[in-house]
């Protein structure tokens, strides 16, 4: 290797290899579709779900099973300690490294994404806003506590009307962050969002979106949450709680949070299950709101384990020049 081997993007000439991204709400069959594609096209699967990255959190994350993991190379699963927190920036750094390696092996990378923020950071780069100011944030929090969150929304509307449209009036953390950005940068947040940062290079991106009918999706979500409880979610949570206590952030995430409430005696087992089902349904709704804003998605109207949906996906990948069929 010559001395200038690492001169940024120019040392390896990619012929813009294909990158397949599978996105969609929880329980829509992303894992099943990723495995079918990996087997047909010789692909490697890259996780883009924040909780599936974390070791020891297995039942409530619906990670691929041992046999599924063995059927194709998988990356960025079970690679983070339960007490660590992976920022979108850190995720992007790791995932781009993995994508580069898969590309050098001439395999098809398949990113499976439930965490919209991670996915956007990976593909489009991060918006690197001004630094946070703890003092200003504290003042804004007090002001929200005194006058209600509507007050912060009015403040933001005066500073940047376009940003105010994008943030819910009750979402205090986002309101505070947007106000902070406006004051620190004197530049409108909505304009900053449009100045994309460091997008992924060297790939043509094919986004496949799973969009099953809502009632059917909610049935699957309810069923999956019940299976998690039957498969020992409460026992797993109890073990993690004993081992890490509050230091394990994912204990506040879907399913685990409700299992913790049951263990503390705040909810009966049935109430905890119903609350977990509700939380997953709400999350699916938020995911779809986020993913509908993704550009150029090929929407597949069904679940990823359905034969006809898989066939549609195969055609899309083949038409995009997706590597050699095996």
CATH of the domain at 185: 1.10.20.140
Write out pLDDT tens, residues 79-105. 999 999 888 889 999 999 999 999 999
Question: In the numeric block, which tokens belong to residue 251?
Answer: 């204990």
Are 236 and 310 members of one domain? yes
Write out pLDDT tens, residues 170-200. 888 889 888 887 777 665 555 555 555 689 9
Rounded to an integer, what is the distance from CA 13 to the centroid of its chain? 29
In a domain, 252, yes or no: yes
In a domain, 7, yes or no: no
In a domain, 2, yes or no: no
Instruction: State which of 145, 162, 194 marks the end of a domain.
Output: 194
Are 169 and 280 members of one domain? no
Lowest model confidence (mean pLDDT) among 9-13, 24-28, 117-121 = 9-13
Are 64 and 142 members of one domain? no
In a domain, 222, yes or no: yes
Among left, alpha and beta (phi > 0; psi -120 to 50; other), residue 45 is beta
Q: 250: closest CA among 47, 116, 61?
A: 61
Contacts of 17 (CB under 8 A, 6+ apart): 103, 106, 109, 202, 203, 204
Instruction: State which of 194, 215, 242 marks the end of a domain.
Output: 194
Q: 300: closest CA among 32, 3, 16, 5?
A: 32
Domain that holds residue 42: 12-127+197-319
In a domain, 1, yes or no: no
Rounded-to-integer distance, Cα 63 and Cα 51, Å: 9
> Can you tell me the mean pLDDT for 129-135?
61
For the cut 80, the answer to whether the pLDDT of residue 11 exceeds it is no
We report the CATH number of the domain holding residue 212 as 3.40.50.300
Instruction: State which of 153, 171, 194 marks the end of a domain.
Output: 194
Are 212 and 289 members of one domain? yes
> Can you tell me the mean pLDDT for 27-55?
97
Question: In the numeric block, which tokens belong to residue 228?
Answer: 């998690």
Give the DSSP per-residue string, 25-39: -TTSSHHHHHHHHHH
For the cut 50, the answer to whether the pLDDT of residue 156 exceeds it is yes
Rounded-to-integer distance, Cα 257 and Cα 226, Å: 15
SS3 content of the chain, % helix, strand, coil (to 5): 55, 10, 35
Q: What is the mean pLDDT of the chain?
A: 88
Are 275 and 291 members of one domain? yes
Query: What pLDDT does residue 8 have?
Result: 41
Are 167 and 243 members of one domain? no
Are 65 and 98 members of one domain? yes
CA 185 → CA 121, 172, 190, 285, distances in Å?
Answer: 21, 20, 12, 33
Are 71 and 119 members of one domain? yes
Are 278 and 238 members of one domain? yes
Type and span of the H or E element at 206: strand 203-210
In a domain, 4, yes or no: no
In a domain, 3, yes or no: no
Q: What is the CA radius of gyration of the chain?
A: 21
For the cut 50, the answer to whether the pLDDT of residue 263 exceeds it is yes
The count of structural domains within the chain is 2
Cβ contact 206:167 at 8 Å:
no
Query: What pLDDT does residue 149 have?
Result: 74
Among left, alpha and beta (phi > 0; psi -120 to 50; other), residue 78 is left
Are 210 and 189 members of one domain? no
Are 187 and 205 members of one domain? no
Contacts of 265 (CB under 8 A, 6+ apart): none
Reported as a pLDDT band with limits 50, 70 and 90, residue 43 is: very high
> Can you tell me the mean pLDDT for 248-261?
93
Cβ contact 49:115 at 8 Å:
yes
Are 43 and 154 members of one domain? no
Rounded to an integer, what is the distance from CA 193 to the centroid of its chain? 19
Query: What pLDDT does residue 13 have?
Result: 40
In a domain, 272, yes or no: yes
β-bridge mates for residue 80, sequence order: 54
């Amino acid at each position: 290797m010559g001395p200038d081997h690492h001169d940024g993007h120019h040392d390896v000439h990619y012929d813009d290899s294909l990158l397949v991204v599978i996105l969609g709400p929880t329980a829509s069959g992303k894992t099943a579709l990723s495995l079918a594609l990996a087997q047909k096209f010789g692909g490697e699967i890259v996780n883009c779900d924040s909780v599936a990255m974390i070791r020891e959190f297995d039942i409530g994350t619906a990670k691929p099973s041992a046999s599924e993991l063995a059927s194709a190379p998988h990356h960025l699963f079970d690679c983070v300690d339960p007490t660590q927190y992976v920022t979108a920036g850190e995720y992007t750094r790791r995932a781009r490294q993995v994508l580069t390696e898969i590309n050098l092996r001439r395999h098809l990378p398949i990113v499976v994404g439930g965490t919209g923020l991670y996915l956007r950071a990976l593909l489009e780069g991060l918006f690197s806003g001004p630094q946070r100011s703890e003092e200003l944030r504290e003042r804004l929090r007090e002001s929200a506590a005194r006058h209600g969150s509507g007050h912060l929304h009015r403040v933001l509307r005066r500073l940047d009307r376009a940003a105010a449209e994008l943030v819910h009036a009750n979402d205090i953390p986002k309101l505070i962050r947007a106000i902070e950005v406006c004051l620190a940068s004197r530049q409108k947040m909505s304009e900053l969002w449009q100045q994309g940062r460091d997008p992924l290079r060297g790939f043509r991106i094919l986004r496949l979106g799973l969009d099953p009918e809502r009632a059917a999706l909610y049935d699957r979500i309810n069923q999956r949450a019940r299976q998690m409880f039957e498969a020992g979610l409460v026992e797993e949570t109890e073990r993690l709680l004993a081992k890490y206590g509050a230091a394990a952030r994912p204990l506040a995430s879907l399913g685990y949070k409700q299992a913790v409430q049951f263990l503390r005696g705040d909810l009966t087992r049935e109430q905890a299950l119903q609350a977990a089902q509700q939380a997953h349904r709400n999350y699916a709704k938020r995911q779809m709101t986020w993913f509908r804003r993704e550009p150029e998605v090929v929407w597949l109207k069904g679940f990823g384990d359905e034969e006809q949906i898989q066939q549609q996906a195969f055609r899309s990948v083949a038409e995009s020049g997706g590597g050699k069929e095996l």
